[in-house]
Structure 1
Amino acid sequence: MYSGGLYPFETLEEFWGYWSRTILVNRYEGEAGAAYERLLKLVRDRDYFVITTNVDHCFQRAGIDRKRLYYMQGDYGLFQCSRPCHQRTYDNEDAVHAMVVAVNERIQAQREQGIAPSELDLGVPSELIPHCPVCGAPMTTNLRIDGRFVEDVGWHAAAERYAEFTQRHRGARMLYLELGVGGNTPGIIKYPFWRMTAENPQATYACVNAGEACTLSTIERQSVLINADINAVLDVLER
């Protein structure tokens, strides 16, 4: 699904035919997952904060306080102006559901007409394409893909809470727990965690990543590297 989001769709109808279903599956359907709930049990009674590059809202759906969350890369549940002409986002749940329902009905009608699966029109009806209420340009997903990403009031508030948390614990006994961060965007979590660990002799950097756990030689004595699946690690911690 991540790769599909990078496809150069020829029309906005096709774009939203794909993205409405992707958003529905990843943002609104199903449970957050056991790993998120297990993590919450481990930190519930501690002073913690979560910074994530995930955009599926699973941390909040698992019950983690939204005031302790910083969704750095955006949120599947928000639309923004594609230009963008202003720094505001819009909840998209109703619009996404309407698009998916319309596409499903279109697919069913085409199947009844005997249209081959490879020939199906999977685009949303043109009238359901979301447009900016300010300038009229097409809306798009609130995901950090390029320099047009909208950092709205909620995004900045979360950034400030994260900065306050890290500042308040500067020099104190601290665990920087990194879970599953790869090499795609290391400047958001991995590199800052390395830097803050190096600046604080009382800090510990712990990296859980199957096959990719690594650290700097300068903080090796302060690091715990676990090349394993996150759920397997949680199994051990819960014993």
Structure 2
Amino acid sequence: MGYRWSSRGEFWGYLATFLHTTLHAPVREPYKDLRAILRDKDYFILTTNQDTQAIKVFPEEKVAQIQGDHRFFQCSQQCTDAVWDATKKIDELYDYLEEHDTIVIPDEMIPRCPHCGAEAFPWVPGYGNFLEGSRYQEQYQKISDDIEKHLHDKHVLFLELGVGRMTPMFIQEPFWALTNNLPGAFDVMVNRNYQFLPAQIEDKGVAIKGDLARVLKDVRAQLGCCTRTFDPHKEKQK
């Protein structure tokens, strides 16, 4: 993303290809295995991934995307609190590149804010001033509401799936604090590079150093989770 492109058109040629790839990517195996493991369980997904894999698998009301979403654009100047659908425009840009066998988007096709005309960019951190507006607050409210709902449950399991140390403040540290403070909480950390838990929760958690895809596949097999196709958008969660 930090590459010095020769023009904004060349930058958008790259960006359109990148976003089209993530938006149309098939669901990966770890997500399928997690879906099978969580079937018929009361769960909530908190993710910092922006690639839409989670909302392809789980109902949107069960997912909080607290670091943005590739499906939306925002104004680069933050002239408005609104974010808007990017999927149709991304497909349009990608089709142009394919049809004209080029890597450059014409200036007149570069996405712009419908309110002020400033250049748009994906509603994720890393491109400029990430908009922490109403949609951002909505995502945090979803996870906050779910945690509050379960504060007095006899058992609460927190799963850190592939959460690293680059941004521990979004998922890892809140999970550790909740595990430490909730009597019935237990934390499971799965990471291919790290294997540790804070001393305060060493007796209330386990750290697994290993490949997440393998771990979830093994858990699914151990639990005997069904292999039939499961669509959580059509079946009621218990």
TM-score w.r.t. structure 1 length? 0.86
Q: Within the alignment, does 1:73 sit opposite 2:67 as a pair?
A: yes
84-93 or 229-238, which deviates more: 229-238
User: Match for 1:169: what amino acid?
Assistant: H
The structure 2 residue matched to 1:55, chosen from 45, 50, 53, is 50
Correspondence list, 1:1-239, <5 A: 5-27=1-23, 29-62=24-57, 64-107=58-101, 122-145=103-126, 148-172=129-153, 173-237=155-219, 238-239=221-222
Partner SS for 2:147:
helix
| Cα distance in 1, alignment partners of residues 187 and 176 from structure 2 | 7
Partner SS for 1:25:
helix
| Cα distance in 2, alignment partners of residues 146 and 215 from structure 1 | 33
Identity rate of aligned residues, in percent? 30
| Cα distance in 1, alignment partners of residues 121 and 148 from structure 2 | 34
| Cα distance in 1, alignment partners of residues 149 and 56 from structure 2 | 27
Partner SS for 2:158:
strand
Partner SS for 1:6:
coil
Report the alpha carbon displacement of residue 167 of structure 1 after superposing the two structures with TM. Answer: 1.4
- CA-atom RMSD, angstroms? 1.7
| Cα distance in 2, alignment partners of residues 213 and 75 from structure 1 | 29
User: Match for 1:140: what amino acid?
Assistant: F
User: Match for 2:162: what amino acid?
Assistant: G
| Cα distance in 1, alignment partners of residues 43 and 2 from structure 2 | 34
Greater RCO structure (CA 8 Å; 6+ sep): 2
189-198 or 33-42, which deviates more: 33-42
What CA deviation, in whole Å up to 9, does each residue of 1:160-210 have, x standing for no partner?
121011112224311110000111111000010111111112111100111
Partner SS for 2:72:
strand
| Cα distance in 1, alignment partners of residues 4 and 187 from structure 2 | 39
For the 8 Å contact 2:64–2:140, the answer to whether it is kept is yes
| Cα distance in 2, alignment partners of residues 204 and 8 from structure 1 | 46
C-alpha change, 1:214 and 1:146, in structure 2 (3 Å) is farther
| Cα distance in 2, alignment partners of residues 99 and 164 from structure 1 | 38
| Cα distance in 2, alignment partners of residues 75 and 224 from structure 1 | 31
For the 8 Å contact 1:102–1:125, the answer to whether it is kept is no
Q: How many residues align?
A: 220
Partner of 1:118: none
| Cα distance in 2, alignment partners of residues 147 and 122 from structure 1 | 23
| Cα distance in 1, alignment partners of residues 127 and 176 from structure 2 | 26
Report the alpha carbon displacement of residue 231 of structure 1 after superposing the two structures with TM. Answer: 1.9
| Cα distance in 2, alignment partners of residues 84 and 143 from structure 1 | 13
TM-score w.r.t. structure 2 length? 0.87
User: Match for 1:18: what amino acid?
Assistant: Y
Report the alpha carbon displacement of residue 15 of structure 1 after superposing the two structures with TM. Answer: 1.7
